[in-house]
Amino acid sequence: VKKAELSPIAWKEGVVLILNQTLLPDRLEYIEATSPERVAEAIKKMEIRGAPAIGVAAALGIALAAYHSKASSINELRKDLLKASDILWKTRPTARNLFWAIERMKSIFLRDFPDVDSLKTAVINEALKILEEDIEINKRIGRNGAQLIEDGDTILTHCNAGALATAGYGTALGVIRAAVEEGKKIKVIATETRPLLQGARLTCFELVYEGIDVTLITDNMVGYVISKGLVDKIIVGADRILRDGHVINKIGTYTIACVASIHKIPFYVAAPLSTFDLKTSVENVVIENRDPSEVTTIRGVRIAPEGVKVLNPAFDITPPDKVSAIITEKGIVYPPYEENIKKLFE
């Protein structure tokens, strides 16, 4: 029997339902957000996380501001929407999709409208379009990427780039899903992904839920597992991809890419066009630093002495020479990246 697809976020008449990912895999509980402030809080606390998912959440947060606004003029309504956009903009700094979605919403609500109601409707419709498009885009990424996967492959993935990190279906896990749907026998190795365990808690949850063969390893087992020939391919998602092919993704991705390169294992990145940032250069990318308590504790249990110094960067940067290909909804991009990424946007 095919199970219902996991839905991390949905809109229901002025309420944004957010699957609280901090509780997974123990409990499936939805947050009912009715304000952009509550959506912003959910993004900050990582109750919803993953680059495309936080873009969709921000768009729906702006839709909430429109839906509940008491403004009686277009100008007043725009003020409410700008305020919501500003609050959502400041939630997390690294994933490009958040800013992409807010900019797209702004391009709608700064247009001319005859009255308040038509502006409200346009804003809500645009947010719903972003949500629906994201699922479609992921299915296209999946179909494109599945060409790279052979029957019998064991694929290593890091963090969670699945249905939960998007509006549904997933990017890296979308490729794996599409290959499985084509009838290929696929095994997945998932890294646990400290500090917040998105691999163990979320990727394993999704794959077990769907009956896809998954084996969990801790992050420090990657080198051993690859050197033993247990991995055919690596597929990860991305939070931001630069015009020259630098890939910013969950902390630990760079280490995996280096080991893959030494052992000549293909290292693929799957992401939508909304993840690409053609403007920022690598030295100007903001890597989010999160609270030290995420490192000194595991799910609330302290594992290090009080007073210890901690580093907690949430993302790292993989240089283009370690990336075998980037899978997008418009096709697979190979080096030279500068040239071929430019073509994607023409």
Single out the residue of 31, 39, 49, 267 in contact with ligand MRU (rule: CB under 6 A). Answer: 49
Total residues contacting ligand MRU (rule CB under 6 A)? 17
Interface segment toward ligand MRU; rule CB under 6 A; list 48-56, 142-150, 226-234, 276-284: 48-56
By beta carbon distance, the residue nearest ligand MRU is 237
- Binding segment for ligand MRU (CB under 6 A), chosen from 50-58, 76-84, 225-233, 316-324, is 50-58
Q: How many CB atoms lie within 10 A of CB 210?
A: 18
Residues 180-219, interacting with ligand MRU (CB under 6 A): 198
Minimum distance of ligand MRU from residue 238's CB (angstroms): 6
Mark whether 232 is an active-site residue.
no
Given 134, 239, 244, 321, the catalytic residue: 239
The contact mask relative to ligand MRU for 121-160 (x = CB under 6 A, - = no) is --------------------------------------xx
Residue 161 as a binder of ligand MRU (CB under 6 A): the answer is: yes
Residue among 9, 33, 51, 137 that touches ligand MRU (CB under 6 A): 51
Query: Is there binding between residue 324 and ligand MRU (CB under 6 A)?
Result: no
In whole angstroms, the minimum distance from the beta carbon of 74 to ligand MRU comes to: 35
For the segment 223-252, give every residue that binds ligand MRU (CB under 6 A). 236-239, 249-250
What amino acid positions are annotated as catalytic residues? 239
